[in-house]
Structure 1
Amino acid sequence: MKQKRKFENNNILNLSNFGQKSLYFGIIFFTFVILFIGKADLAILNKLSIVVADMSSPIISSFSKQTKIISNSFNYLKNTTSLQEENKNLYQENIKLKKYKVLSEIYENENLVLKKQLNLIPKNIPNFVTARAISAPGNIFTHSLLLNSGRKQGIEKGNAVLFNGVFIGQIISVGNNSSRLLLISDVNSMIPVVVSNNRIPSVLSGENLILPSLKFLPNNVVLKNGSIVQTSGHGGLLPAGLPVGTVVKNSTEKNYVKPSIDLNLIDYVQVLLWKADGVKTNKKNDNFRPLAPNKDFNLLEGFTSRGVVIDE
């Protein structure tokens, strides 16, 4: 047993001695390697670094491309979301701009129409009210229009009404905020006019047709086609000299008047707040005095059932 233990101890000692010797030789070898590398030519190291770079560059490039693709994908998704929001906002703004454009065109057209009509108002009539027609011109039974201005705006019954500077009728009824215009083509319209060539007086009478006619012309008067017809101002209810239209004859030589404007296209009109000089309206009727009643008076006194007067 003792010999066996001695043999084992000797083996262990031999192994440890071998390990120490190997370690010493290894240290010495690495020392020489380090000295060799330190003394090696730098060109070799550059070539090695180039070779390593050449071998690693495709791999690094591939990874960088993949990273760039992933980054671009995230940016695309982010931009897509923001573009959808911007597109939605732009769509709403576009709708608003189209609405404002339509409104601006409407207002611009109305402004041009009103400017044109203002330039056609007679200069000797400074007071007028611009009103808008809010109903159709009428039907076969009546030719009238409802206006959106009334007594509060100063409109009164009998006021003359112009459209594009042309006389088209007069006010027949007035409310607080509305009024009704009777067109010259209505059967109830009777307007004193003159044919401007020779100042021939006549009455423009509506017939519920497209063209009103001229009535009560002087005897043996022959009118020419195209003669200008204007208001005469007779009676002091309408201003004189307002243009109406031109004379047109039919096959029976009946005289009609073609209005200078289309009565079916009326939108904005001018109501002339005009009164003839010297004409005063007395709303209180201070000069009116009713007769005093006579209690002793018998209306049927002196009559019998046969209508014979009895003489007393």
Structure 2
Amino acid sequence: MRKVFLYFISFIIFILLATFILNKAKIVSFSIVAPILNGISYVDEKINDFLKYIEEKGELIEENKKLKYEVEKLKAKIIHLKSVQYQNMKLKEILRFKENYPRFIIRAGKVIGYSPENWTEFIYINLGKEDGVSKGDLVISNGHLIGIIFDSVNNYSTVMLISNRNFRIPIRTRKTRELAIYQGSNLSYGYLKYVKPEQDIREGDLIETTDIDNRYPAGIPIGVVKSVSYKEGEVFKNVKVEINLNPLNLEYVIVVIGKSKKEQ
């Protein structure tokens, strides 16, 4: 009986000792593993944050692409509206010109090219014989005379610009109503020919077309008198006219078909 009791006591002590040792082992094991687990948890958290950032970044990039596309569409619309506005302005200009010169046939066209040999003196427009256009008709742009029809075929014409040295046309000064001949020289200026010493030609006066030959309409501006000089003993005055013509800026034109053609 005593032995049984001793065995029982020994068993109890063994159980308690084993339990104590296991608890200690758990504590030691947890203290070792805990930092590793914390590290894994931290890494997992950062990976999730990174994946979330990538996802949000992708959404932002996609949204940015859509916004850029919308911006480009708006830019295209603005360009189109400006083009329509410019065309409307030119159409109004043509209508005003028709109202001012009801006796003449008016044709509206566009510049389609430049002379490969001398772009400062000739241009091509998309109006030709099929439109009733022929040599000698006036060509206007932005309210000013820019040239005359030099040659015309079925569907296009060559325009001699007022900068050409061979360009000549009768003119009057707007203020003093003096008559002279304008001759081209270059893109910046031309000259008035055969101006007599007694003629009243003044600096700053506008020169314009005249209907003296009953073919051209009167009052279309050409340029402004830049300088007037005269030397004693010379037959004519030297009159310089500023024109400031830039063929590369020409887009829409008006062709004035002579009155005589309309009456035929």
Specify the TM-score bucket, using the shorter chain as the normaliser: 0.5 to 0.7
Cα deviation per residue 1:39-94 (whole Å; 9 max; x = unaligned)? xxxxxxxxxxxxxxxxxxxxxxxxxxxxxx9x999998877766655544444333
1:60-209 matches, within 5 Å, as: 85-105=62-82, 107-108=83-84, 110-111=86-87, 113-115=89-91, 117-118=93-94, 120-121=96-97, 123-126=99-102, 127-136=105-114, 143-208=121-186
**Structure 1 length normalisation: TM-score?**
0.54
Q: Residues 165, 138 of structure 1: CA spacing in aligned structure 2 closer, same or farther, 3 A cutoff?
A: farther
Do the aligned partners of residues 84 and 271 (structure 1) sit closer, same or farther apart at CA in structure 2, a change above 3 Å counting?
A: same
> Of residues 235, 260, 263 in structure 2, which corresponds to 1:276?
260
Query: Corresponding residue for 1:48?
Result: none
Give the 3 Å change call, closer, same or farther, for CA 139–233 of structure 1 in structure 2: farther
* Alpha-carbon contact 2:187-2:245 (below 8 Å) kept: no
Which structure has the highest strand share of the two? 2
Deviation at 1:270, TM superposition (A): 1.1
Match of 1:52 in 2: none
Identity of aligned residues (%): 27
Q: Tell me which of 196, 203, 213 is aligned to 1:235.
A: 213
SS at match of 2:93: helix
Q: Determine the C-alpha separation between the residues in 1 that align with 2:143 and 2:204.
A: 18
Q: 1:167 to 1:77 in 2, by over 3 A?
A: closer
The answer (yes or no) to whether the contact 1:138–1:145 under 8 Å persists in 2 is no
| SS of alignment partner, residue 96 of structure 1 | helix
SS of the equivalent of 2:259 reads coil
RMSD of equivalent CA atoms:
3.8
Normalising by the residue count of structure 2, what TM-score does the alignment of the two structures yield? 0.63
C-alpha distance in structure 2 between counterparts of 1:190 and 1:133, whole Å: 22
In structure 2, runs of 5+ residues without a counterpart are 1-44, 231-236
Q: Figure out how many residues of one structure are paired with residues of the other and give that number.
A: 214
Q: Does the CA contact (< 8 Å) of 2:178 and 2:201 recur in 1? A: no
2:239 maps to which of 252, 255, 263: 255
Corresponding residue for 2:251? 267
1:189 to partner: Cα distance: 1.0
> Is the contact made by 2:115 and 2:122 (CA closer than 8 Å) also made in structure 1?
yes
1:278 & 1:134 partners in 2: Cα distance?
26
- The one-letter code of the counterpart of 1:151 is K
Tell me the SS of whatever aligns to 1:186.
coil
Q: Is the 1:116–1:164 Cα contact (8 Å) retained in structure 2?
A: no
Query: What does residue range 24-39 of structure 1 map to in structure 2 within 5 Å?
Result: none
Higher-RCO chain (CA-CA 8 Å, sequence separation at least 6)? 2
Rounded Cα–Cα distance in structure 2 between residues aligned with 1:249 and 1:157 = 32
Q: Matched residue of 1:123: which SS?
A: helix
Shift of 1:100: 2.9
Gaps of 5+ in 1: 1-68, 281-312
How many Å apart are 1:115 and its aligned residue? 4.9
Displacement of 1:244 in angstroms is 2.1
Q: Does structure 2 conserve the Cα–Cα contact (< 8 Å) formed by 1:162 and 1:270? A: yes
In structure 2, the CA distance between the partners of 1:96 and 1:136, relative to structure 1 (3 Å rule), is same
Amino acid at match of 2:70: E
Q: Does the 8 A contact of 1:168 with 1:263 survive in 2?
A: no
Letter in structure 1 aligned against 2:208: Q
* Cα gap change, 1:138 to 1:206, in 2 (>3 Å): farther
After superposition, give the CA deviation of every residue in 1:15-37 in whole Å (9 maximum; x if it has no partner): xxxxxxxxxxxxxxxxxxxxxxx
Cα distance in 2, alignment partners of residues 158 and 277 from structure 1: 12
In 1, Cα distance between the equivalents of 2:118 and 2:65? 53
SS at match of 2:260: coil
CA drift at 1:182: 1.1
**Counterparts of 2:180 and 2:55 in 1: how far apart (Å)?**
83
Shift in alpha-carbon separation, 1:95–1:272, aligned structure 2, 3 A: same
